[in-house]
Copies of this chain bind each other. A is one copy, B any other.
Amino acid sequence: MRVASLYGPVQEDLPIVEATLDSIKQTDFQVLAEMLSHALAGGGKRMRPALALLAARYRNYNLELLVPLAASVELLHTATLVHDDVIDVAASRRGRPTANSLYDNAASVMLGDFMFAHAADLVARTGNVRVIRLFARTLMHMAAGELDQDVSAFDWSRSVRDYLRRIGGKTASLIATACEGGAIISGAPEDWIEALRDYGQNLGMAFQIVDDLLDFTGNEAQMGKPVGSDLMQGTLTLPSLLLMEASPRDNPIKRLFQSRRGSKLRLEVAVRAVLESGAIARSREVADGYGKQALAALNRLPPNETTHTLIELVDYVLERDS
């Protein structure tokens, strides 16, 4: 099976990370335990912890330090999802109800805070202050990226450059940090650390662009959320922005946003317009471009089994359909 060996040499170590994530749910406070169980059960592909482990394979692969690091990355990621869902007033994610649809907003904000704190404790277990500060700065980028997305909702003057900066902060920065953190902990030389960070940053950009594409081209059952949900939230992603660049004066997205709480019909018209334009193909080209840069970064690393897995991951990210 493809996915089973997706993470190559670190595949068999991921269950240890999973066990650490499981242990977080152990608390006497029943409500919190339930909320944590729900938030962490989402599954997902655990790509970020896998990258943290992979990036450490070039030098000293010490699981005692790497497992807390990898668990911390995943927890940080999951905590931001919990807060994003509060912000988006999202009812479901990956086909499962979100925390804030099951509990109230207030409880979800606190759940996210608790998870951030736990992530900080986990990364501190590495004893590496450079990595701890890297994590703190990454969360600053992520929060600023989300804030930017929020304040720019329904703003059709946003450019492709703004979008790329935003997803750089919101998504790519944590993926880059997973790679950089693993490399630092392993004691890799500075040029390898930089190469792995560049790889992660570019992989993360490609990942988010494909995610945003799939919001138009994916099907609801596989994605676990309705097609066009970004537009519905007022979020302009690359395909929408490219369509708007092509017809700046009048286009169905502008009409959808002007109606603010757009009708379902207006949304369908806008989604169809994106699909029928060349915007999807051009977005895919942009994602492929980041994929190429990720591969180029790997040229600065010794070619081995880990490098091979990192190369394959680029293909996987670009080709995935959910």
Say if the beta carbon of A317 comes within 8 Å of chain B.
no
Q: Tell me whether B147 and A118 are in contact (CB under 8 A).
A: no
Enumerate chain B residues within 8 angstroms of A32, measured Cβ to Cβ: 144, 147
Q: How many copies does the complex hold?
A: 2
Say if the beta carbon of A102 comes within 8 Å of chain B.
no
Say if the beta carbon of A120 comes within 8 Å of chain B.
yes
CB of A79, distance to nearest CB on chain B (Å): 9
Q: Tell me whether B150 and A107 are in contact (CB under 8 A).
A: yes
Give residues of chain A (135-194) contacting chain B, Cβ–Cβ below 8 Å: 135-140, 142-144, 146-148, 150-151
Q: Tell me whether B124 and A109 are in contact (CB under 8 A).
A: no
Say if the beta carbon of A281 comes within 8 Å of chain B.
no
A297 vs B194: C-alpha distance when bound (angstroms): 50
A174 vs B127: C-alpha distance when bound (angstroms): 22
Give residues of chain A (39-90) contacting chain B, Cβ–Cβ below 8 Å: 80, 83, 86-88
If the complex has contacts A121-B133, A137-B117, A139-B120, are A151 and B31 also in contact, measured as CB distance less than 8 A? yes
If the complex has contacts A31-B147, A147-B32, are A83 and B105 also in contact, measured as CB distance less than 8 A? no
Enumerate chain B residues within 8 angstroms of A29, measured Cβ to Cβ: 144, 147-148
CB of A297, distance to nearest CB on chain B (Å): 26
CB of A238, distance to nearest CB on chain B (Å): 21
Q: Tell me whether A87 and B114 are in contact (CB under 8 A).
A: no
Enumerate chain B residues within 8 angstroms of A86, measured Cβ to Cβ: 105-106, 109
Say if the beta carbon of A246 comes within 8 Å of chain B.
no
Q: Tell me whether A117 and B129 are in contact (CB under 8 A).
A: no
Specify the chain B residue showing the minimal Cβ separation from A114. B143
Interface string of A242-256 (1 = CB under 8 A from B): 000000000000000
Binding site for B on A (CB under 8 A): 27, 29, 31-32, 80, 83, 86-88, 104-107, 109-114, 116-118, 120-121, 124-125, 127, 129, 132-133, 135-140, 142-144, 146-148, 150-151
19 examples of A-B residue contacts, CB within 8 angstroms = A29-B144, A31-B148, A32-B144, A80-B113, A83-B109, A83-B113, A87-B109, A88-B106, A105-B105, A110-B150, A111-B143, A113-B142, A114-B147, A120-B120, A120-B132, A120-B136, A120-B139, A121-B137, A127-B129
Q: Which 4 A-B pairs have the closest CB atoms?
A: A117-B139, A87-B106, A121-B136, A120-B136
